[in-house]
């Protein structure tokens, strides 16, 4: 471990007229302890690869992105590239040709049932013709957690004939972690609204699509003047140079779009001996080797080596120079390694498994007397916080109810995946999830340092819902203050199960049976909506409602005869009042109109005597009765009554 370390210093020299861009030479080396006089091999890896699309309307072979990329809430690790300026995650079309291009494919409904633009990134989507000219290639680069995948269409002609003198150069970059998408358009030749390009779409001549589309065509995002609906003002009509556009996911199915500075990645196709040269410190004009790798013997007076690439890079013609530096540290230096691990894991350092953050020193002795003092600076990154809000290991739902599972302290830089019964739930990538099905649920979180942890399990069960059914009432309308018995039908009640019955409002039942139980009795003064709620042993409940109809029954019944002879039967004349009726006054007159009784004993009524105590004769008398009813109104009744002796 650790004879020298590699430091990367990137110097890019541009040809005249080029704008700011980025590129790299990926250095490779053997990580060993070295001393002066030891062999040293240095290598460079340039990763551009062509997709080998050389037929019209053809798709590439399946390409590995090199990382997991989330697009419209779904995760992908592979893609294919179309010769018509499009990248798609639908790999079922890999290697196919003859998929006739048409402008209508970019519309929501597709063209003649063809929906090849679904699940795609349309960079410069138009009818291109990479048969006789142009290069389509891709590149992967970067470290785990921040890798990038680049595809570019270099000077690809437009279809066909005289249109081949027009060309398109464009590029798309996919970012690991952020899932951002950058599109750079170096050049689109102006094609004009009246044609003649692309010839495959005579009603949309000279138009070019840029944008995003989900896997079923229900969501699309296009910048202004770059969508399928635009005609004369489309950017392909007038052409464009050095354009940049950023697409940022703002939700599982939404993106924001914003212009950015033109900054494409310059891809270097391959390594060739004349183009890649290696130099030692102090010898800028004397190469020690050419090609992908160079070997030398370390010299104590030489502290670094330079690798230089001079040649074609990117799409536009021109000679560019890229330079990286390899620095050599010998054992007499104090060399430092910086490493990161996740909490709960270990880092192996010269026979020791370390798990605490800190600095660790090691002395390596060699037979050549070239000792190495090595230091490890170890960082321990925390695991994600997997505390669930209101956590319970079991959760019972009733029928079609749902419940929210959520992390108490989500982090914006952490990604999430919910699982049911050990399998990922597609699209469940937020720090919260609504459960509606039985199963064992967990959520796995991965930080931006690639530290992952899975939460405790929550077992969700679906409990049965009881049945609530009130025995039907007949069509009779009750008199106010009448008593009514109400029953709950048995329904789906199983033997041995516990059920709780509650009737509301409580007031009608309060003074008779009470509001609980499968059978209750109530006193209703007015029309009332009665609700029965039935609970089972799981706490699940359901309700049923019925309307008890009432009316104020205001007819008073009074006897037409009475016999005040002291035998205890019919000794008084008094009306029979119903609940809710109140006697206000009762006056009785003889046949001459003389008042013989005037509310003397309104509770008992008339005992058949005059006010002086003498007995009234046996004959017919008239009475005038005033009373109130349940409706609060005052009523009068005039009738006759016969006094019998």
Q: How confident is the model at residue 106 (pLDDT cuts 50, 70, 90)?
A: low
SS3 260: coil
In whole angstroms, give the CA distance from residue 366 to residue 386. 48
Phi-psi domain of 165 (left: phi exceeds 0; alpha: psi -120 through 50; beta: other): alpha
Task: For domain 394-463, say whether CATH 3.40.50.300 is its number.
Answer: no
Of 177-191, 320-334, 388-402, least confident by mean pLDDT is 320-334
Residue with tokens 């006094």, as numbered in its chain: 643
Q: What is the pLDDT of residue 88?
A: 94
Confirm whether 394-463 and 561-643 share one CATH topology. Answer: yes
The two tokens of residue 225 are 């003047």
Q: How confident is the model at residue 524 (pLDDT cuts 50, 70, 90)?
A: confident
Instruction: Answer whether residue 213 shows pLDDT above 70.
Output: yes
Q: How confident is the model at residue 27 (pLDDT cuts 50, 70, 90)?
A: low
CATH number corresponding to 11-46+268-327: 2.60.40
In whole angstroms, give the CA distance from residue 204 to residue 197. 9
Q: What is the 3-state secondary structure (H, E, C) of 215-235?
A: CCCCCEECCCCCCCCCCCCCH
In whole angstroms, give the CA distance from residue 623 to residue 619. 13
Of 342-351, 407-416, 496-505, 565-574, least confident by mean pLDDT is 496-505
| Per-residue model confidence as pLDDT tens digits over 51-77 | 778 888 889 999 999 999 999 999 999
Among 311-315, 346-350, 454-458, 490-494, name the most confident range: 454-458
Quick check: 440 and 421 in contact, CB under 8 A?
yes
In whole angstroms, give the CA distance from residue 411 to residue 445. 10
Instruction: Answer whether residue 330 shows pLDDT above 90.
Output: no
Which class does domain 561-643 fall in?
mainly beta
Instruction: Answer whether residue 379 shows pLDDT above 90.
Output: yes
Q: What are the Cα distances from residue 320, in Å, to 185, 241, 265, 275, 285? A: 20, 20, 13, 10, 18
| Per-residue model confidence as pLDDT tens digits over 596-639 | 999 877 888 899 998 888 899 999 999 999 888 877 888 888 89
Quick check: 622 and 640 in contact, CB under 8 A?
yes
Q: What is the pLDDT of residue 10?
A: 28
| Per-residue model confidence as pLDDT tens digits over 448-461 | 999 999 999 999 99
Q: How confident is the model at residue 90 (pLDDT cuts 50, 70, 90)?
A: very high
| Per-residue model confidence as pLDDT tens digits over 143-192 | 788 889 999 999 999 988 888 899 999 999 999 999 999 999 999 999 87
Mean pLDDT of the chain: 83
Domain boundaries, the chain: 11-46+268-327, 49-259, 334-381, 394-463, 478-551, 561-643
HSE, side-chain direction, 13 A CA sphere, residue 212 = 23
Q: What is the mean pLDDT of residues 81-101?
A: 83
Q: What is the pLDDT of residue 26?
A: 54
Q: What is the pLDDT of residue 5?
A: 28
Q: How confident is the model at residue 12 (pLDDT cuts 50, 70, 90)?
A: very low
Residues in the chain: 645
Instruction: Answer whether residue 223 shows pLDDT above 90.
Output: yes
The two tokens of residue 332 are 């007499």
| Per-residue model confidence as pLDDT tens digits over 266-299 | 887 665 557 888 999 989 888 998 887 889 988 8
Burial of 493 (0-12, 13-18, 19+ CB in 10 A): middle
- 447 backbone dihedrals φ, ψ, rounded to 5°: -75, 175
Q: What is the pLDDT of residue 30?
A: 41
CATH number corresponding to 478-551: 2.60.40.10
Q: How confident is the model at residue 7 (pLDDT cuts 50, 70, 90)?
A: very low
% of the chain exceeding 90 in pLDDT: 43
Instruction: Answer whether residue 350 shows pLDDT above 70.
Output: yes
Instruction: Answer whether residue 123 shows pLDDT above 60.
Output: yes
Q: What is the mean pLDDT of residues 32-59?
A: 74
Instruction: Answer whether residue 497 shows pLDDT above 80.
Output: no
- For residue 492, what are the contacts with CB-CB under 8 A and spacing of at least 6? 464, 466, 467
């Amino acid at each position: 471990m650790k004879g020298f370390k590699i430091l990367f210093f990137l110097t890019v020299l541009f040809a005249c007229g080029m704008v700011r861009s980025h590129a790299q030479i990926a250095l490779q080396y053997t990580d060993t302890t070295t001393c002066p006089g030891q062999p040293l091999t240095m290598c460079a890896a340039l990763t551009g690869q062509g997709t080998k699309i050389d037929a019209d309307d053809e798709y590439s072979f399946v390409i590995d992105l090199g990382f997991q990329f989330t697009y419209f809430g779904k995760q992908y690790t592979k893609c294919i590239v179309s010769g018509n300026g499009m990248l798609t995650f639908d790999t079922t079309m890999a290697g196919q040709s003859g998929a006739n291009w048409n402008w209508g494919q970019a519309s929501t409904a597709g063209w003649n049932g063809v929906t090849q633009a679904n699940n795609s990134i349309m960079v410069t989507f138009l009818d291109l013709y990479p048969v006789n000219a142009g290069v389509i290639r891709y590149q992967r680069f970067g470290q785990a957690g921040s890798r990038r995948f680049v595809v570019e269409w270099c000077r690809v002609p437009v279809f066909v004939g005289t249109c081949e003198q027009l060309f398109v150069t464009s590029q798309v970059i996919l970012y690991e972690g952020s899932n951002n998408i950058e599109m750079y358009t170096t050049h689109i030749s102006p094609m004009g609204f009246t044609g003649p390009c692309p010839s495959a779409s005579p009603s949309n001549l000279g138009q070019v699509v840029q944008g995003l589309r989900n896997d079923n065509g229900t969501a699309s995002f296009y910048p202004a003047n770059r969508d399928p609906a635009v005609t004369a003002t489309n950017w392909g009509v007038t052409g464009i140079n050095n354009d940049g556009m950023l697409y940022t996911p703002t939700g599982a199915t939404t993106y924001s779009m914003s212009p950015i500075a033109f900054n494409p990645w310059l891809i270097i196709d391959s390594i060739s001996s004349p183009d890649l040269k290696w130099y030692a410190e102090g010898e800028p004009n004397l190469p020690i080797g050419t090609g992908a790798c160079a070997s030398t013997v370390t010299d104590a007076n030489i502290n670094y080596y330079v690798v230089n690439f001079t040649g074609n890079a990117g799409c536009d013609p021109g000679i560019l120079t890229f330079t990286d530096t390899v620095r050599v540290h010998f054992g007499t230096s104090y060399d430092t390694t910086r490493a990161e691990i996740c909490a709960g894991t270990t880092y192996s350092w010269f026979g020791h498994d370390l798990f605490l953050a800190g600095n660790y020193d090691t002395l390596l002795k060699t037979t050549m007397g070239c000792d190495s003092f090595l230091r490890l600076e170890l960082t321990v990154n925390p695991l994600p916080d997997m505390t669930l809000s209101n956590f319970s290991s079991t959760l019972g739902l009733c029928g079609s109810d749902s419940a929210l599972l959520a992390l108490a302290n989500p982090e914006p830089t952490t990604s999430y995946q919910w699982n049911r019964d050990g399998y990922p739930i597609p699209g469940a990538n937020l720090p919260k999830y609504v459960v509606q099905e039985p199963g064992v649920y967990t959520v796995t979180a991965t930080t931006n340092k690639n530290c992952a942890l899975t939460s405790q399990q929550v077992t969700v069960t679906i409990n049965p819902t009881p049945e609530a059914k009130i025995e039907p009432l007949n069509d009779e309308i009750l008199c106010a203050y009448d008593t009514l018995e109400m029953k709950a039908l048995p329904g789906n009640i199983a033997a041995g199960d516990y059920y709780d019955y509650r009737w509301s409002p409580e007031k009608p039942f309060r003074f008779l049976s009470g509001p609980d139980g499968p059978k209750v009795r109530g006193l209703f003064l007015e029309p009332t909506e009665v609700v029965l709620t039935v609970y089972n042993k799981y706490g699940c409940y359901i309700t049923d409602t019925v309307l008890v109809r009432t009316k104020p029954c205001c007819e008073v019944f009074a006897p037409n005869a009475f016999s005040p002879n002291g035998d205890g039967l019919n000794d008084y004349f008094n009306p029979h009042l119903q609940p809710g009726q109140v006697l206000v006054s009762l006056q009785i007159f003889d046949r001459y109109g003389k008042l013989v009784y005037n509310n003397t004993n309104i509770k008992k009524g008339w005992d058949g005597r005059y006010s002086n105590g003498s007995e009234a004769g046996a004959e017919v008398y008239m009475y005038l009765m005033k009373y109130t009813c349940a409706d609060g109104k005052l009523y009068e009744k005039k009738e006759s009554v016969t006094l019998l002796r």
